[in-house]
Structure 1
Amino acid sequence: MIESTSKVSLKDFDSSVGLDRGASRLKELCWYMVKVTFFLSALPYPSGLKTKLLRFFGAKIGKGVVIKPRVNIHFPWKLEIGDHTWIGEEAFLLNFEKLTIGNNVCISQRSFLCGGNHDYRNPTMPYRNGPIILKDGSWVGACCFIGPNVTVGKDTVITVGSVIVSDLEENRVITKPITSQIKVRWK
């Protein structure tokens, strides 16, 4: 066995501290079965059916919401979606805390809205979760990451592949910074 000299002690992590699941284990289990069948499936179940199922589990869902196949929603009872919002294929809504999505919002395919985190400064890595708010008219481009405790302002566009870990003002276009370039020479 390898002896650890790490400052991190995951054996001491307590999953019951810092996370209010918001529902009974039975409700969570039932949701998981529905999620696997109707949401994580590649089959194109109608959005109307999906929104009814989300409402049944406690989500507040507006009219005209489009939910594509393979969308992973963690806790529907901590989800609020406004009118005419689109959620793209393979989006992951890890909403350990409340996730509020406004009207006319587009969450593009494979984006990850992550309301969960851990405090890396503490050896037991306790939860450091937070809500996420996407205000009216915002657009999250494909393959973006949005972390906990983030508010995206009204009519703000986040371009493909961006990582957002702090609040964004309204009426902005956020582009992913280029951190390196590879130049290819053709002969």
Structure 2
Amino acid sequence: MKHKLILFYSWFIRTLFYFIPDLPFTMRTRGWFYGLAMKKCGKDFQVTNNALLKGLHNFSLGNNVFIGNNTVIMGSGELIIEDQVMIAPNSVIVIGNHTSINNSFRYGPIRKGKVILKKGSWIGANCSIAIGTILPENSVLGANSFISKPFDKANSLYAGTPAKFIKEL
């Protein structure tokens, strides 16, 4: 029941603020309202008007987090975003996954997972992030990348499909 109420709350906030321009004040206000349903939400959480956030009760966010246009975050797993993380437009973060049963993914049980975006990281535009991801501190995930595993080298650029270490920053 709680999950359904949180989904309705998320829809309500998105609908209420949808036509309000993306000014820093309104993005912070939108973020504050989303933060009320989260496990933890730091200061200065900014969300653009057309970002889609589902599963808020499994989110833990630090301070100064920004979520860009058309970003979709959904699933039933756990999302941890540390301080000063930026997520560029059109990115997708999925914190759950389907499993196959009787040769079909339609009715298989959901596999819950975790995604961790460490302090100061930057997600480029059009990225896909799947469960099992850990992006280290002060790292960049290059545009159009797909990441689904943990990395541990901070201050680095990761890119590609699937993402791999490119260079130190």
**TM-score, normalised by the number of residues in structure 1:** 0.73
1:150 Cα deviation (Å)?
1.4
Which of 122, 133, 156 is matched with 2:116 structurally? 133
Which of 141, 147, 164 is matched with 2:147 structurally? 164
The one-letter code matched in structure 1 to 2:43 is: K
Query: Which fold has the larger relative contact order, with Cα–Cα distance below 8 Å and residues 6 or more apart in sequence?
Result: 1
Aligned residue-pair number: 155
1:93 Cα deviation (Å)?
0.9
Residues 148, 62 of structure 1: CA spacing in aligned structure 2 closer, same or farther, 3 A cutoff? same
Between structure 1 and structure 2, the one with the greater Rg is: 1
Which of 57, 61, 65 is matched with 1:85 structurally? 65
Report the 3-state secondary structure (helix = DSSP H, G, I; strand = E; otherwise coil) of the residue aligned with 1:93. Answer: strand
CA distance, structure 1, for counterparts of residue 133 and residue 101 of structure 2: 20
CA distance, structure 2, for counterparts of residue 172 and residue 153 of structure 1: 8
Q: Could you say which structure has the higher strand fraction?
A: 2
Matching of residues 112-151 of structure 1 within 5 Å: 112-120=92-100, 123=103, 124-151=107-134
1:63 Cα deviation (Å)?
1.4
Which of 44, 50, 53 is matched with 2:33 structurally? 53
1:44 paired residue number: 21
1:97 Cα deviation (Å)?
1.4
1:52-78: per-residue Cα shift (whole Å, max 9, x none)? 212322342211222122011002211
1:30-88: per-residue Cα shift (whole Å, max 9, x none)? 332223332xx253260232122123223422112221220110022111111112111
Q: Percent identity?
A: 23
1:97 paired residue number: 77
The one-letter code matched in structure 1 to 2:14 is: K
C-alpha contact 1:82 1:103 (8 A) present in aligned 2? yes
Deviates more, 1:69-78 or 1:135-144: 69-78
Gaps of 5+ in 2: 163-169
CA distance, structure 2, for counterparts of residue 176 and residue 121 of structure 1: 31
1:118 Cα deviation (Å)?
1.1
